[in-house]
Chain A
Amino acid sequence: SQTIHQWPATLVQPVGSPLSLECTVEGTSNPNLYWYRQAAGRGLQLLFYSVGIGQISSEVPQNLSASRPQDRQFILSSKKLLLSDSGFYLCAWSRDSDSYEQYFGPGTRLTVT
């Protein structure tokens, strides 16, 4: 069966510090991978998605970047965090075909102080 991991689970970082969140998927190959952010108010916003190693599509221009160095690894980064980067970050995967359901990881709660 497939499993998706995210770490860390919680993170408190000062404004201006760097960020690295990691997501890995087990039990499948060549998945589509996604990063979402859920800010207060519960809405989910797609930040990045990837259909393969080194292939990243950005949905929202912002202070964040993503990378996919390995088939089942997806990393969300920032060089300098802003207060507005606070939120709940969710990684998800889906099969490598159109419009399949996405399966979500446990999330990382980021607080920028």
Chain B
Amino acid sequence: AQKVTQAQTEISVVEKEDVTLDCVYETRDTTYYLFWYKQPPSGELVFLIRRNSFDEQNEISGRYSWNFQKSTSSFNFTITASQVVDSAVYFCALSGASGAGSYQLTFGKGTKLSVIP
């Protein structure tokens, strides 16, 4: 069975601070995919990134960066110089690489980020 744990339920930061959202996953698959999604107050989930289990390179996209560590089963997300527009619920998700498991995204319960001006 797959499981995604986002231990931080809610985080508040002051604008321009850096913030890291934690994600720990469990899977028996040797190949799998990890994702991050953003859910602003409007409700629509916005895709941010997909990472393959065989690619442990960290990735940076503007103010966003992701740290994937297979040894600790973690896929953490850092926002640098946070802005009010970053306020949202952020979800980490996991899927298998083949068969029926590849169609199912297992989501964590999300971390609600509030950026205070």
Which A residues lie at the B interface, using CB under 8 A? 32, 34, 41-44, 46, 49, 51, 57, 59, 88, 90, 92, 98-107, 109
Contact = CB atoms under 8 A, between A and B. Distances in A.
Given A42-B89, A42-B110, A99-B95, A49 B103 contact: yes
Interface stretch (B15-23, B41-49, B78-86): B41-49
Interface in B81-117: 89, 91, 95-98, 100, 102-105, 107, 109-110, 112
B110 A32 contact: no
Interface of B: 33, 35, 37, 42-47, 50, 89, 91, 95-98, 100, 102-105, 107, 109-110, 112
Contacts of B42: 106
A32 B109 contact: no
Contacts of B95: 99
A46 B35 CA distance: 16
Nearest to B105: A102
Contacts of A46: 104-105
23 contacts: A42-B89, A42-B109, A42-B112, A43-B107, A43-B109, A43-B110, A44-B105, A90-B44, A98-B97, A98-B98, A98-B102, A99-B96, A99-B102, A100-B50, A101-B35, A101-B47, A101-B50, A104-B37, A104-B44, A104-B45, A104-B47, A105-B44, A109-B43
B104 A106 contact: no
A103 B93 CA distance: 13
Contacts of B43: 88, 106-107, 109
Contacts of B112: 42
Given A99-B33, A99-B95, A44 B44 contact: no
Contacts of B91: 44
3 tightest A-B contacts by CB? A98-B102, A104-B45, A44-B107
A59 B35 CA distance: 20
